[in-house]
Every structure is written in C-alpha cells, then in structure tokens.
Structure 1
Amino acid sequence: MTASYIALDWGSTNLRAFLYQQGKCTAQIRSERGITRLDGNTPQQVFSDVIAPWQSLNLPVIMAGMIGSNAGWIDVPYLSAPVNLDALGQHLFPLEAALPVKAWLVPGICFNRDDNCNVMRGEETQLLGAYDESPASLYLMPGTHSKWVHAEGSKISDFRTAMTGELHHLLMNYSLIGKGLPEQQNSADIFRLGLESGFRQPEITGRLFEVRAAHVLNRLAKTAVSDWLSGLLIGSEVAQMLSHFGREHRITVIGNPLLTGRYGQALDLAGIGGQALDGDQAFQSGIRRIVNAMGN
C-alpha cells in the first residue's frame, strides 16, 4: 500500500484520526464521538464527517478499536490467540459499505478457553507499535479496562483484563462511596497511601466500604476520596497481576502520561522497573507496520 493513508483509532468514548502523507503524520483530528457518543448519527455519517477535510486526497483508511465490535459499525471476527502481531496486516476486514474511499478494520484478539475468556479491540494495534518502539515480555495498558499482555517476541501468549478504571467510575458515581462528596482534588500523598494499602492487601472486596467509612469518620479528607480509591484499586490490580504473570519481566506501560505515571509508581512499589510509551505513539507505529504488511 502507498505510504499515504488515513488511520482512525475509534474507541468507545473518543475518536482520533491521523493523516499520513508519504509516511509522515501531517494532520490530526480529535473527537469525542466514540461509538457510545454518536448522538443519533450512524458510524458511517460520523466517518464521513471526520474524513471530510481529507476526502479529496482519495486515501485508503485503516480503522482500529471498538468501531469493529458488536457495538460499533460492524462486528469483525476476533483472531484467536496465541497469535503473532505481525499477522494483523494479513487479516484486515474490508468495509464494503458505500463509501467515498476504501476502508479496512483491524481485527481484535481473543482467548476463548475455560481458564481465560478475554477480548481486546484497539489494544492489538498499540501492542504491535510497542513491540517496535519499546519491546517487552509484559505489556501493561491501563485504562477503563486495563490489559496485561504476556508476549514472546511479537507473539501474544496470554492476556488478562482488570476493570479498574470502570470500577473507580462506578464506585465514585453510583455507590455510597461517592455519595454527597464535594468536588475532588488531586492529592499525590493520599494516592500513594491508597496505593500502598491496595498493594499490601490486594483482596480488597471486603475493604471497599471502609473508603466510605473513612471519610464519614473524618479519617480521610472528603476532597481526596477519588485519589485514595484510585490508589487502592491500582495497587490491588498490580499486586494480583504480578502474582499471575510473575515479576521477572521487562514491562512497557502504554497509555497517557497520567495513567502511565500512576502505574509506574505501583511498579516501583513492587520493585519492578517499567518503561512508559505514549498510547498515540504506539498506535501510529502499529498502524504503520500494518500498512506496510498490506503492501507485501
């Protein structure tokens, strides 16, 4: 394929579009019109709106993320793991809707077995980029649903998901833990204390109510509950996942700087060094490898 193309990272809540001309990213568009925020529009309408500024270039489009799920534009079959990331370029799903340009969707990856039932969409593209930019044997992708991925070179041999980000949102917004709280403020010290507590005692189900009790009894500032809970959940996640995967790995943490920094603190607490990689950089590098594979 030509080195000029459009890449879309289209997730649940956000959409990021990148224009590549002769192998270089020359423009970007960021939108909050993820698949759960289409505001009555169809994915095809949003697609047309987003690429409209570049449509006259008549470039092919590669899309990754939740747009290829059963909640998105079309449900693209998963590739069954174990799988080699270099194979992604040979398994793209052509989008045959009436579009002004040719478009393909990157398939997600799944495990479907008794001891591990897991799926990912979008992360596989970032993983391919991370393998190129910052190779590791264990990748950590924090977010709403954090992914922990064990790799042997470019081969994905295992991955697990922790719903840490979603749990934090639900507990703060829809449970007694967050009821009646004032606007939350950042507190690095409180986050660190929560992190240490969660890491020391990772089985935290029986302790979550204590988060509410702590601020009701004035042992925890009501403006710092979010950071305490974030630290508690992240510390628990990291301790449990390291127990599963082991501590002997080189780890790359992929995501935005805020999250990679928080998880980096947890890895430091565990005595394990991690290297951070920006999520957009990983995605763009992965798409570039996919496009190059398409041309072979």
Structure 2
Amino acid sequence: MTALIGIDWGTTSFRAWRMGQGGEVLETVSDGPGILAAGALAGGFRQALTDTIGGYLGTAPVIASGMITSRNGWVETPYLPLPLDAAALAGSLTLHEGVHFVTGAVSDPDGPAPDVMRGEETEIIGHLAGGGTGGLFVLPGTHSKWARAQGGKLVAFRTVMTGEVFGALRDHTILGRLMQPGPGSEDAFRRGVESGRQGGALLGRIFSARTLALMDRLAPDQIADYLSGLLIGDEVAQGARNAGGSVTIIGRGDLAARYQSAFEVLGMAAQIAPPGMAQRGLWEIARMRGLA
C-alpha cells in the first residue's frame, strides 16, 4: 500500500519514490523532466507530474523538494531562516495543487551576502533522521553546498560555484582549446588538488592548466581532470578550515568520490553518505507533518 509519494525535483533532474507504511521504497521513477523542461511543456508542471507518476496521484499524499519551489519552479516558497530542523520544515510546508512543497533555507538574510539552498536541506535532514551525526556536510554539484549541522539542526551553510565555474572555463575560455576527451586520470586530478591547495590568487593558479599543457607536462586528455582537481582542491582547502568533527559527503557516486579523494590528498577523512538521503528526508518531514 502506498503511504507517501516523495519527489526530488531539480533544475535538470526528477526523482520520485512511492513509499510504503514504514517509509520503504516500493518504486522509483527517475526519468522525468527537470523544472526547466517541465515548465516549457504545454501543460506545465501538472502535465509533467501526470506523465511521470499519474498512475499514483490521488492514492497518497505527495511531497516535493528542490528547485521546484524556486522562482523558476511550480510555486515559489519563502526561504526558512536558520537554524532549522525537520519539524521546522514540516511546519512550513506549502500546499499547492495537491502537492506539499518543502521550502528552502536562507543563511544570514539581512547580512551583506545572504546564501540560499533548495533541496539540500532535505538531504541533510534525511541523513540526520537515519541516525547520522552532525558535523560538516559537503553536497557537491553545480553549486556545491558546505553545511554544518548541530543538535539535529542545520545551523550554517555556504555555496561554492565550483561546478559551474569548471564548465564555463572548459567550454568558454582559452583553457578548453587544448583539452581532449580521455578515459579520466586520477593522477592528473590529484595533481590538480595539490595545486589547488596552494596559496595565492586562484585566478592566477588556474592558468597553469594551460601552461603545463604548453610545456608538454600535461597531456591534452589530462587537462580537464587537472582543472577539476585544482578547483575542487581550492574549494576543499578553503571549506575544510576549522572543520572539526566528522565530514560527510552527500551526492552522486562519481562526484562524491572525487571530493573524498580531494579530502584524502589534504590529509583528511570524509565519509560518503549512502544514497537515498532526499527520499529519507522527505519521509521524515512528511511524518512530522502527519502526512505519513
């Protein structure tokens, strides 16, 4: 029997879970459109939902998190200030067209540089609900999140645009002109991490991705891995300062493994959370609200 339908709906991704009475996953759907594609459909987000999980709509409450609640999503919800936990998110659910939407979080809203997240808060709550400890959380992606949880609550976070900057440098600058595809080089990546941890201006160090290739000290099919390592190495070196306690990486396998490798190069241990944190977080928030 279906007790809850949970959805993690991102900019370019869609994942839905049909869950049973104990929160167990009965079925997974992961081939739906992200919000950009869904919003462009003639029937919009409702059509996208019907096309992907229409057979289950009406059988159980539906709860969704992620960029679906952003300005480009189905319904824009207000950000919830820190600190927050599952109970706070449950109390702030927005019901719209039969879907309960989990809002995002905002850090330092009145300060000089406020920060926001949508979706990652649910993944962190999922980890904590499963018995995970607090400490430092790293959620790699186009816009990586570095978050801290304490006492079962999300208390701080910041965003680093490493993934987007890598794509822009690779595709739209002179650095990409010498790059060639290859099987992937862990050695080049770790070499980049070592360069990324060094002091000095990052924008100056980035140019080494070109000069090392020009001096034939970096093969064309290693440049991208080196550049990736350099950017991630700088991010980890900066973000891990005064880390203290445990470090948990939440994210897809290949990218999470890269960040774990970068921590290792820097002499630090980081654990990769098991998959399913978003699904577990959605269940916990729904349970707190009495939906499951």
The two structures share one fold, judged by TM-score above 0.5: yes
CA distance in 1 between partners of 2:211 and 2:251 (Å): 33
Gaps of 5+ in 1: none
CA distance in 1 between partners of 2:233 and 2:259 (Å): 8
CA distance in 2 between partners of 1:272 and 1:50 (Å): 42
CA distance in 1 between partners of 2:236 and 2:201 (Å): 12
Q: Offset at 1:257?
A: 1.6
CA distance in 1 between partners of 2:245 and 2:75 (Å): 36
Aligned position for 2:237: 239
Kindly provide the amino acid, as one letter, of the partner of residue 31 in structure 1: D
Aligned position for 2:26: 26
> Is the contact made by 2:4 and 2:20 (CA closer than 8 Å) also made in structure 1?
yes
CA distance in 2 between partners of 1:87 and 1:40 (Å): 32
Post-superposition, which runs of at least 4 consecutive aligned residues in structure 1 deviate over 4 A?
A: none
> Is the contact made by 1:202 and 1:240 (CA closer than 8 Å) also made in structure 2?
no
Q: How high is the sequence identity, in percent, across the aligned residues?
A: 35
Kindly provide the amino acid, as one letter, of the partner of residue 15 in structure 2: R
From 117, 123, 126, give the equivalent of 2:123: 126
> Is the contact made by 1:194 and 1:232 (CA closer than 8 Å) also made in structure 2?
yes
SS of 1:231's partner is helix
Aligned position for 2:110: 113
> Is the contact made by 2:195 and 2:205 (CA closer than 8 Å) also made in structure 1?
no
Kindly provide the amino acid, as one letter, of the partner of residue 52 in structure 1: G
Moved more, 116-125 or 77-86: 77-86
Q: Offset at 1:251?
A: 1.1
* TM-score scaled by length of structure 1: 0.90
CA distance in 2 between partners of 1:32 and 1:212 (Å): 39
Aligned position for 2:263: 267
From 255, 280, 293, give the equivalent of 2:288: 293
* TM-score scaled by length of structure 2: 0.92
Distance 1:141 1:213, change over 3 A: same
CA distance in 2 between partners of 1:226 and 1:201 (Å): 21
Distance 1:183 1:267, change over 3 A: closer
SS of 2:286's partner is helix
CA distance in 2 between partners of 1:152 and 1:265 (Å): 25
Distance 1:185 1:216, change over 3 A: farther
Q: Offset at 1:160?
A: 0.7
From 207, 219, 222, give the equivalent of 1:221: 219
Moved more, 144-153 or 180-189: 180-189
Q: Offset at 1:285?
A: 1.3
> Is the contact made by 2:39 and 2:73 (CA closer than 8 Å) also made in structure 1?
no
Aligned position for 1:6: 5
Aligned position for 1:284: 279
Q: Offset at 1:3?
A: 6.9
Aligned position for 1:40: 40
Q: CA RMSD in A?
A: 1.9
Q: Which has the higher strand share?
A: 1
From 50, 53, 60, give the equivalent of 1:51: 53
Moved more, 207-216 or 60-69: 207-216
CA distance in 2 between partners of 1:39 and 1:9 (Å): 16
Distance 1:3 1:50, change over 3 A: closer
Gaps of 5+ in 2: none
Distance 1:172 1:187, change over 3 A: same
> Is the contact made by 1:264 and 1:274 (CA closer than 8 Å) also made in structure 2?
yes
Q: Offset at 1:116?
A: 4.0
